[in-house]
Structure 1
């Protein structure tokens, strides 16, 4: 649905009203930028773009601007931010909204205005008439975390917009290294696109140019340990120390990731699918996919042993029985046996 709306905007097939809701701020901001780019020319932006914060401005006042003819242009674009009246949440704003004015506008929108209503909240209150009307009459974009398929499409289209192609292997590696944060992925794609002299991004280029996050370095460290490859694991650990990462933090993230491997394995054994596991653990489905691939190679007994060893090291460090840097080094050696 997100991709369909974006393609329509690029083709200048605009809806009179857009409803952008959800907690993935990057998608909402991306849609706003696309609308601004395709609805108005650079010269028109100063005259025909309006932004209202509905925590400060009543909806009826904003609609007066919406219904005012554009100046020196065919269209005007109006962003209505923070539409808290669409939710059941309590809001500190003292502004009262006459939502009947918005209902009337939805029944007969101005042909020269495009309105984007942003509600950056996890859920809307579908019991409210205005919410139902908006979902029925507006183009609705739910800004939630993209699933793996949509994430891959988004990366391919982002590459195409930059005039390059990207291999599927490169997409997989990019997501594995950078995770699913759209802002981070967008920055990495921009860097890769600039470097791609042959207009092609491959896995080797991703490996060379994309910086691994702290969490990804820990994930790789654990992967080496699970494969009994102690020396590469120690090399990653020493590099993290050189980057001034705190040993206690390293230990905590290691424990959290191994615990997740155990939980994924146990839930999969109980018959839970990838999406359901992601929902239960409150993580992105792609992380669950990677965890399922790795956890399948090890027994629950092995993973529980690693969790116990990490907990014991944490206790020894916090009770002063072991020096923190050395304690983690020793546990990496022990875990690899």
Structure 2
């Protein structure tokens, strides 16, 4: 099957649109929620499960079945029966990717019942878009294709997620979260929900102190602080953070640290190249807003720090450092590490960077 062309921002926008329609009680007869990212699939399914019917109706007119346990014909028969109570019934098919001959659901989805809301949760992959099933649901109902975010897309989504809950987050706290939790937005949202519940009443801004106290990520010893120390050539501070990482290797995997450093030096390389173009080609240097897009940086403060530090790292050095980081990326995966620990490798890498 061809790789999806849907972008993460399109998934977010379509989720918000469909969620708004559900809250306004404008229901489609069939929902196909599919893709590799389970967060939006679960969130929209839960919203439908808690909205379409009144609580008193759910025991009689809401059914949840699983793809591994049912056949398509059973689901079709369930959808075609009349509601026991009220005007509608809800049929939720979970783990639909495990159903054999799922394409037979097209016998129903081509002409769905007006009294049934069918929700198909198809995780891990998408339904074949060339299939009759997909085309029928696209015509008669609603489709949400849920794709996973790239690492640089997480910060923007998180900022909006927190803002929707009446709060804001400092840039450092945001970076601590994304560095520690990666791109698993289901895990991130769970941690944030717990964090928001634990904050003192009236708190309107999440700080690095809140992250340290409630999620257990050190505000002084993390990839954000290490990258900042390297960026500003504070070698003693960077090595002190590396020593902390060496004592806590499970919380600070070398691979994530190398990725964070690689991304920072890639950004420096681009800034230096853009300045070279200004000097030798007469082009205009991009605005900060444009730089955020080019560098895939989520906040304006990071842009200022990168611009200020770029002269300290000319591209002849940056090019060599990017090569070093590729080498240590391989070593972090066990290739040519020679039995050295993550802590030893990180200290070695930092010394090589500062000695260039």
Selected match of 2:161 from 140, 154, 159: 154
1:114 Cα offset (Å): 1.2
Q: Deviations over 1:67-89 (max 9, x none)?
A: 223334443221123445xxxxx
CA distance in 1, matches of 2:173, 2:251: 26
Gaps of 5+ in 2: 1-13, 278-289
Instruction: Work out whether 1:77 is the aligned partner of 2:96.
Output: no
Selected match of 2:347 from 290, 315, 329: 329
Is the CA contact 1:230–1:336 (under 8 Å) kept in the aligned structure 2?
yes
Partner of 1:62: 75
Instruction: Work out whether 1:51 is the aligned partner of 2:51.
Output: no
CA distance in 2, matches of 1:327, 1:104: 59
Q: Secondary structure at the match of 1:105?
A: coil
Is the CA contact 1:193–1:199 (under 8 Å) kept in the aligned structure 2?
no
Normalising to structure 2: TM-score of the pair?
A: 0.68
Partner of 2:108: 102
CA distance in 2, matches of 1:132, 1:16: 14
Is the CA contact 1:17–1:116 (under 8 Å) kept in the aligned structure 2?
yes
Instruction: Specify whether residues 58 and 319 from structure 1 end up closer, same or farther in structure 2 by C-alpha distance, changes over 3 A only.
Output: closer
CA distance in 1, matches of 2:257, 2:192: 28
CA distance in 2, matches of 1:52, 1:156: 35
Is the CA contact 1:234–1:332 (under 8 Å) kept in the aligned structure 2?
yes
Partner of 2:121: 118
Instruction: Work out whether 1:24 is the aligned partner of 2:24.
Output: no
Instruction: Specify whether residues 117 and 174 from structure 1 end up closer, same or farther in structure 2 by C-alpha distance, changes over 3 A only.
Output: farther
Q: How many residues align?
A: 308
CA distance in 2, matches of 1:288, 1:36: 36
Partner of 1:33: 46
Q: Deviations over 1:223-277 (max 9, x none)?
A: 3122112233233222223324499x52x44434434445566678599x99998
CA distance in 2, matches of 1:324, 1:100: 53
Instruction: Specify whether residues 94 and 274 from structure 1 end up closer, same or farther in structure 2 by C-alpha distance, changes over 3 A only.
Output: farther
CA distance in 1, matches of 2:60, 2:49: 12
Partner of 1:240: 245
Is the CA contact 2:292–2:303 (under 8 Å) kept in the aligned structure 1?
no
1:25 Cα offset (Å): 0.3
1:110 Cα offset (Å): 2.9
CA distance in 2, matches of 1:76, 1:264: 53
Kindly report the root-mean-square deviation, in angstroms, between the aligned alpha carbons of the 2 structures.
Answer: 4.2
CA distance in 1, matches of 2:291, 2:301: 10
Instruction: Specify whether residues 259 and 74 from structure 1 end up closer, same or farther in structure 2 by C-alpha distance, changes over 3 A only.
Output: same
1:3 Cα offset (Å): 0.9
Partner of 1:200: 203
Instruction: Work out whether 1:178 is the aligned partner of 2:185.
Output: no
Instruction: Work out whether 1:5 is the aligned partner of 2:6.
Output: no
Instruction: Work out whether 1:230 is the aligned partner of 2:235.
Output: yes
1:143 Cα offset (Å): 1.4
Instruction: Specify whether residues 130 and 187 from structure 1 end up closer, same or farther in structure 2 by C-alpha distance, changes over 3 A only.
Output: closer
Is the CA contact 1:22–1:123 (under 8 Å) kept in the aligned structure 2?
yes
Q: Deviations over 1:307-332 (max 9, x none)?
A: 45564895998347x78745643543
Instruction: Specify whether residues 332 and 263 from structure 1 end up closer, same or farther in structure 2 by C-alpha distance, changes over 3 A only.
Output: closer
CA distance in 1, matches of 2:70, 2:77: 12
Is the CA contact 2:211–2:217 (under 8 Å) kept in the aligned structure 1?
no
CA distance in 2, matches of 1:312, 1:36: 48
Instruction: Specify whether residues 266 and 236 from structure 1 end up closer, same or farther in structure 2 by C-alpha distance, changes over 3 A only.
Output: closer
Gaps of 5+ in 1: 85-90, 160-164, 279-284
Partner of 2:167: 166
Is the CA contact 1:52–1:80 (under 8 Å) kept in the aligned structure 2?
yes
